[in-house]
Amino acid sequence: MLGRPLWALTLGAGENRVLYSAAHHANEWITAPLLFSFLEELCESFSSGGTIFGQSAAELLDYARLCLVPLVDPDGVDLVTGELQRGEAFESARSIASQYPGVPFPDGWKANIRGTDLNLQYPAGWETAREIKAAAGIRGPAPANYVGPAPLSAPESRAMAALCRRFDPALLLAFHTQGEVIYWRFGDLEIPGARDIAATFAAVSGYSPEETPYAASFAGYRDWFIQTYRRPGFTIECGKGVSPLPLTDFPELRRRCLGILTLGALVT
Provide the binding-site residues for Zn ion, judged by CB under 5 A: 25, 28, 176
Q: Which is nearer to Zn ion, 136 or 203 (CB)?
A: 136
CB of 179 to Zn ion, least distance (A): 10
Q: Which is nearer to Zn ion, 53 or 122 (CB)?
A: 122
156 is catalytic: no
Q: Which is nearer to Zn ion, 16 or 212 (CB)?
A: 212
Q: Which is nearer to Zn ion, 22 or 52 (CB)?
A: 22
Selecting among 41, 180, 237, 252, the annotated active-site residue is 237
How open is the CA angle 166-114-18, to the nearest 5 degrees? Answer: 25
Burial of 260 by CB count in 10 Å (0-12 exposed, 13-18 middle, 19+ buried)? Answer: buried
Q: What is the DSSP letter of 104?
A: -
Q: What whole-number distance in Å separates Cα of residue 34 and Cα of residue 18? A: 16
Q: Which is nearer to Zn ion, 119 or 262 (CB)?
A: 119
- Centre a 10 Å sphere on the Cβ of residue 192 and count the other Cβ atoms it contains: 9
Residue closest to Zn ion when measured from CB atoms: 176
CB of 213 to Zn ion, least distance (A): 13
Mention every residue, 6+ apart, whose C-beta is less than 8 A from residue 204: 53, 259, 260, 263
CB of 159 to Zn ion, least distance (A): 18
CB of 1 to Zn ion, least distance (A): 20
Helix ranges, 138-180 (H)? 155-167
Residue type (1 letter), 14:
G
Mention every residue, 6+ apart, whose C-beta is less than 8 A from residue 194: 184, 185, 232, 233, 234
Closest CA to 178 of 8, 67, 24: 24
- Centre a 10 Å sphere on the Cβ of residue 255 and count the other Cβ atoms it contains: 11
Mention every residue, 6+ apart, whose C-beta is less than 8 A from residue 124: 186, 218, 219, 220, 223, 224, 226, 227, 228
CB of 70 to Zn ion, least distance (A): 14
Q: Which is nearer to Zn ion, 28 or 78 (CB)?
A: 28
CB of 11 to Zn ion, least distance (A): 25
Burial of 3 by CB count in 10 Å (0-12 exposed, 13-18 middle, 19+ buried)? Answer: exposed
- Active-site residues: which are they? 237
